[in-house]
Structure 1
Amino acid sequence: METAAESPPAPPGPARLPWDFHPALTEDRLRVCGRMLANARRDALAMASYELGDDPWSVGCRAFAFGRHRLRRAAESGEYPWLEVLDDSAHFVFVIGDGGQGVPVRFYRGAADDPTNRTLKRQEVEAEQLSLALGEEAADGLMFRFAVETGEGGRVDRVVFLALRGEDRVECFWPVPLEMPAVAKGAVEQLRLIADDGYAGPAPHVPGAPPPAPLPRRKPAPSLQRRQGGLF
């Protein structure tokens, strides 16, 4: 007796782009956020002092704090009306979109194709906001993440925007373009913060300009005695 041939597995559905989930997730907005996160890690690496005890863990903590601070400051600046902070705790959640219908997003450092259990954990306020933005059925089990992938020396290799559903389903995998305009020949490249982060960075040094006047020294209080130094 002949058995019916098994039907081949259904081909995977077409890859979805961020703006297929919600119109607030535009390429320009994702590029702004991605650059903020990449530059936050760049600044953390530039400020690291390994001679004084910095290590990958401390640099990672600083990079997370810098990224959170950049996003918060940009949201408060008013220059990005589509950006707001939903949860300013260590679980940091920010929203892309306005009118109370924006999409909640979180970020982490690590491989985009191998998120950790901690990364896959949804915060209650995040799930509630996503239901408002997409509806309960579409938001079921869904989460949006920026993955900051690093390579040699902890430098950023790429930033990927992800749409994940549950623990094993990737519905969007979109590397964020991070290219910046070329620096003009002869111009001084700014190491620290850049203008598209919502902060113009420190004022450039003008050759030949006099140094700033030193601050007046404080006189020690006569009634206080200095204690002998301890371990530090």
Structure 2
Amino acid sequence: MADDKYPWDLHPALTAERLVTVSRLLWAARRDALGNAAWALGDDAWSIGCRAYAFAKNRITRLAERGAHNWLRVLDHSNNFIFLIEGVPVRFYRGPADEPTDRTLRQQEAEAQQLSLAFHGDEAAEGLLFRLAVETDERGQASRVVFLALRGEGGRVECAWSVPLQVERASPAVTPTVQLTLLQSEPPPAKPRRGRRAA
């Protein structure tokens, strides 16, 4: 796989911090789909995969609607879900980063049009696809997320970057690693009650 380019070399909107933010949502969606599985009622890898996909779509949509990240928008809410990072279209799938399927390599018309806009009509966008591959282990848990830039029907890899789930500040020797906060689906913890004062 290509490892000589980074996402931001292809487009400045694709920063590490932004890709980490979205990737953590994908990772958490997979975790929560597994955590909510009802194996005794018939859940299996397929139903959990569908739920993880739906959870991820929902979380990205909610984060975009909150407006705290003005670089994030949703272009297509259907099952061909496409989100935008400062106008650059990205899709995600579950599977090995080095074996994208024909379905993964299929470009939607809206995606192609948006990519042309993001690259201001530059020929460099021709046949280019941006994907986030959610790789899973034998238990179905997300093991890593890889950003891919693929080109053409054969899906030639122009960039494969394993997204770190932590972001370091500029001076890691002084500042410890900072973990990005996940979108919380649970209510915040209750405030501790104050005890009575001693007489």
Q: TM-score, normalised by structure 2?
A: 0.84
Pairing partner for 2:104 from 98, 119, 130: 119
Deviation of the 1:14 alpha carbon: 7.3
Q: Secondary structure at the match of 1:37?
A: helix
Cα distance between partner residues in 1 of 2:104 and 2:2: 24
Deviation of the 1:200 alpha carbon: 6.5
Alignment of 1:40-189 (within 5 A): 40-97=29-86, 102-134=87-119, 135-166=121-152, 167-179=154-166
Deviation of the 1:195 alpha carbon: 7.6
Matched-pair contact (CA < 8 Å) for 2:20–2:166: no
* Paired amino acid for 1:139: A
Deviations 1:46-98 (A, max 9, x none): 0001011110000000000000000000000011100000000000000001x
Instruction: Report sequence identity in percent.
Output: 57
Tell me the residue number matched to 1:196: 181
Q: Secondary structure at the match of 2:146?
A: strand
Cα distance between partner residues in 1 of 2:146 and 2:113: 24
Deviations 1:174-194 (A, max 9, x none): 00001389xxxxxxxxxxxx9
Cα distance between partner residues in 1 of 2:156 and 2:81: 23
Give unmatched runs, 5+ long, in structure 2.
169-178, 194-199
Q: Which has the higher contact order (CA 8 A, sep 6+)?
A: 2
Backbone CA RMSD of aligned residues? 2.4
Give unmatched runs, 5+ long, in structure 1.
1-11, 182-193, 209-232
Matched-pair contact (CA < 8 Å) for 2:167–2:180: no
Q: Which has the larger radius of gyration?
A: 1
Equivalenced residue count is 182
